[in-house]
């Protein structure tokens, strides 16, 4: 660098260059997506009840959001009958709380009467607070934190809460695998994973499970699990409980296979979808246990699976099934209290919230009813992957 160059000019061009590179990075992260935003379903828009959904349709978590918005869209089509038709619209949240609230406001502008969403926990807590303030009925298919529903009488969940899942998982292990030495690997930077982990740990010590190793990771380091696996192996673990999403889980299984580490992995509902991960050898997932409410291989959900495959060309996962059940619950509640397309959003909210406590839904993810906290009550189910299929454990 020559001395007579103007330092200010130098620095300015550097600043501009860095900003440009960074902006390119942001945009690169925002690729992806697929299904269209507006999915009409009902005959006339004037007489249809407007259902909205929110999920990340772009960005790193897009696959979950697309499942939810597709499942909700299919639900709106299937549960539209004469005299009760639905109009559906979904908005992108990019997995971010601020954008999710913007998406919610856009849907309210559109005239939404009930919300089946959002998908992820963080955005859902923010949107749930707005729903409670504005009196909008909300049922989230997949946001599992207790904070989503706590203190809000018009917010409901289709999925189990995180503490509930962690507790159920520990009870399941105590029942079936009490002698195994268990290692726990969880994402300490993620609300879902750390929420399950905390409850699991509590119940595990109450049930006297042998936990030999506890290892945390963060999203930034989810590209390799060799470190955690080596520690688990050194501690003599024969079983790994990993309450993580399926994308990192596929990496974990691949790493374990490459290390030659024979171990049984168990996950929660976020693990559902692992057989659909691109470039992942699904034979590594043989024997994988997961606590999930839904299986696409279950004969009872065959109609839904076929309809979903015809519409979107993919096998539905539990996110889609939960969203479908969410629409189902809204449809049942509407039938009970007689909400119509002309009912104001605020009135619909109070009526639906009251109805939710009384209805029972025979859904894809079990027999669902709701308590006055807005939490779902259904039986936990566990599946094991055998020959590339989910089989009830």
Partner 1 sequence: MKFLNDKVTRRDFLTYGLVVAAFIVVSLLASQGVIPRSLSGQLVPVTCYVVMAISLNLVVGVAGDLSLGHAGFMSVGAFSGVVCAMSLSAAIPDDGIRLAVSMVVGALFAAVAGFLIGIPVLRLRGDYLAIVTLAFGEIIKEVVNCLIVGTDAIGLHVIFNVAGDKTVDDLHLLEGGVAIIKGAQGASGTEKIATFAAGFVLVMIALAVVLNLVRSRAGRAIMAVRDNRIAAESVGLSITKYRLIAFVVSAALAGAAGALYGANFSQLSPAKFDFNTSILVLVFVVLGGLGNMRGSIIAAVLLTILPEALRGFSDYRMLVYAIVLILVMLFTNNPQLKLTLGKLLPKREGAVAHGE
* Cβ within 8 Å of residue 151, ≥6 positions away: 132
In the bound state with partner 1, the residue whose beta carbon lies nearer, of 183 and 364, is: 183
205 binds partner 1 (CB under 8 A): no
Q: Site map for partner 1, 246-265, x if CB under 8 A?
A: --------------------
| Member of 41, 80, 126, 375 binding partner 1 (CB under 8 A) | 126
**Which residue from 334, 12, 320, 356 is spatially nearest to 155, judged by alpha carbons?**
356
Q: Which of residues 40-59 bind partner 1 (CB under 8 A)?
A: 57-58
Closest CB 269 distance from partner 1, rounded Å: 18
87 binds partner 1 (CB under 8 A): no
Q: Are 357 and 337 in contact (CB under 8 A)?
A: no
CB neighbour class for 347 (10 Å; exposed up to 12, middle 13-18, buried from 19): middle
In the bound state with partner 1, the residue whose beta carbon lies nearer, of 110 and 303, is: 110
125 binds partner 1 (CB under 8 A): yes
In the bound state with partner 1, the residue whose beta carbon lies nearer, of 139 and 296, is: 139
> What is the spatial distance between Cα 137 and Cα 132, in angstroms, rounded to a whole number?
8
Q: Which of residues 135-174 bind partner 1 (CB under 8 A)?
A: 145, 147, 150-151
* Residue 332 DSSP SS3: helix
In the bound state with partner 1, the residue whose beta carbon lies nearer, of 106 and 207, is: 106
* Cβ within 8 Å of residue 131, ≥6 positions away: 104, 115, 137, 138, 152, 154, 155, 349
In the bound state with partner 1, the residue whose beta carbon lies nearer, of 73 and 298, is: 73
195 binds partner 1 (CB under 8 A): yes
Ramachandran region, residue 95 (left: φ > 0; alpha: ψ -120 to 50; beta: rest): left
111 binds partner 1 (CB under 8 A): no
In the bound state with partner 1, the residue whose beta carbon lies nearer, of 92 and 325, is: 92
In the bound state with partner 1, the residue whose beta carbon lies nearer, of 270 and 363, is: 270
Part of the chain binding partner 1 (CB under 8 A), chosen from 20-28, 73-81, 241-249, 334-342? 20-28
210 binds partner 1 (CB under 8 A): no
**Which residue from 308, 310, 314, 343 is spatially nearest to 327, judged by alpha carbons?**
308
> What is the spatial distance between Cα 110 and Cα 48, in angstroms, rounded to a whole number?
13
Part of the chain binding partner 1 (CB under 8 A), chosen from 215-223, 328-336, 340-348, 351-359? 215-223
Tell me the CA distances in angstroms from 109 to 5, 63, 154, one per residue in order: 54, 26, 19
By residue count, the chain amounts to 393
Q: Which of residues 174-193 bind partner 1 (CB under 8 A)?
A: 187-191
CB neighbour class for 228 (10 Å; exposed up to 12, middle 13-18, buried from 19): buried
101 binds partner 1 (CB under 8 A): yes
In the bound state with partner 1, the residue whose beta carbon lies nearer, of 3 and 44, is: 3
Residue spans of beta strands (DSSP E) within 234-355: 239-241, 264-267, 289-291
CA angle 54, 196, 364 (to 5 degrees): 55
Closest CB 132 distance from partner 1, rounded Å: 9
Number of helices (H) and strands (E), helices first, in the chain? 12, 16
Q: Are 44 and 74 in contact (CB under 8 A)?
A: no
In the bound state with partner 1, the residue whose beta carbon lies nearer, of 37 and 386, is: 37
Q: Are 284 and 253 in contact (CB under 8 A)?
A: yes
Closest CB 286 distance from partner 1, rounded Å: 30
Q: Are 108 and 345 in contact (CB under 8 A)?
A: yes
In the bound state with partner 1, the residue whose beta carbon lies nearer, of 120 and 285, is: 120
Closest CB 314 distance from partner 1, rounded Å: 16
Q: Which residues bind partner 1 (CB under 8 A)?
A: 7-8, 11-12, 14-16, 18-19, 22-23, 25-27, 29-30, 33-34, 36-38, 57-58, 91-92, 96-99, 101-106, 108-109, 121-123, 125-126, 128-130, 133, 145, 147, 150-151, 187-191, 194-195, 198, 201-202, 214, 216, 218-219
């Amino acid at each position: 660098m020559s001395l007579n160059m103007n330092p200010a000019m130098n620095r300015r061009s550097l600043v501009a260059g860095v900003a440009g590179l960074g902006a390119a990075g942001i945009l690169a992260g925002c690729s992806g997506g697929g299904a269209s935003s507006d999915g009409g379903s009902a005959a006339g828009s004037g007489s249809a009840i407007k259902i909205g959904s929110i999920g990340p349709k772009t960005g790193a978590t897009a696959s979950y959001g697309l499942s939810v918005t597709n499942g909700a869209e299919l639900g709106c089509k299937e549960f539209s009958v004469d005299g009760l038709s639905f109009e559906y619209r979904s908005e992108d949240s990019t997995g971010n709380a601020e954008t999710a609230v913007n998406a919610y406001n856009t849907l309210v502008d559109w005239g939404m009467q009930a919300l089946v969403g959002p998908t992820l926990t963080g955005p859902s807590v923010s949107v749930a607070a707005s729903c409670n303030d504005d009196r909008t009925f909300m049922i989230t298919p997949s946001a599992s934190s207790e904070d989503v529903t706590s203190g809000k009488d018009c917010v409901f969940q289709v999925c189990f809460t995180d503490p509930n899942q962690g507790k159920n998982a520990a009870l399941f292990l105590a029942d079936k695998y009490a002698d195994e030495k268990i290692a726990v690997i969880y994402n300490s930077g993620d609300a879902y994973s750390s929420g399950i982990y905390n409850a699991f740990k509590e119940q595990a010590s109450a049930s006297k499970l042998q936990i030999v190793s506890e290892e945390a990771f963060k999203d930034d380091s989810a590209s390799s699990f060799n470190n955690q696996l080596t520690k688990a192996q050194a501690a003599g673990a024969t079983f790994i409980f990993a309450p993580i999403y399926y994308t990192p889980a596929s990496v974990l299984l691949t790493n374990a296979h490459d290390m030659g580490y024979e171990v049984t992995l168990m996950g929660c509902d976020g693990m559902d979808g692992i057989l659909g991960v691109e470039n992942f050898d699904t034979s590594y997932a043989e024997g994988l246990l997961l606590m999930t409410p839904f299986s696409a291989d279950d004969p009872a959900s065959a109609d839904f699976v076929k309809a979903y495959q015809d519409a979107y060309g993919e096998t539905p996962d539990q996110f889609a099934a939960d969203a479908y059940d969410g629409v189902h619950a809204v449809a049942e509640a509407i039938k009970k209290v007689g909400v119509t397309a002309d009912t104001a959003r605020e009135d619909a909210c109070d009526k639906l919230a009251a109805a939710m406590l009384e209805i029972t839904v025979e859904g894809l993810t079990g027999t669902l009813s709701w308590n006055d906290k807005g939490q779902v009550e259904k039986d936990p189910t566990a599946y094991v992957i055998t020959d590339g299929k989910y089989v009830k454990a």
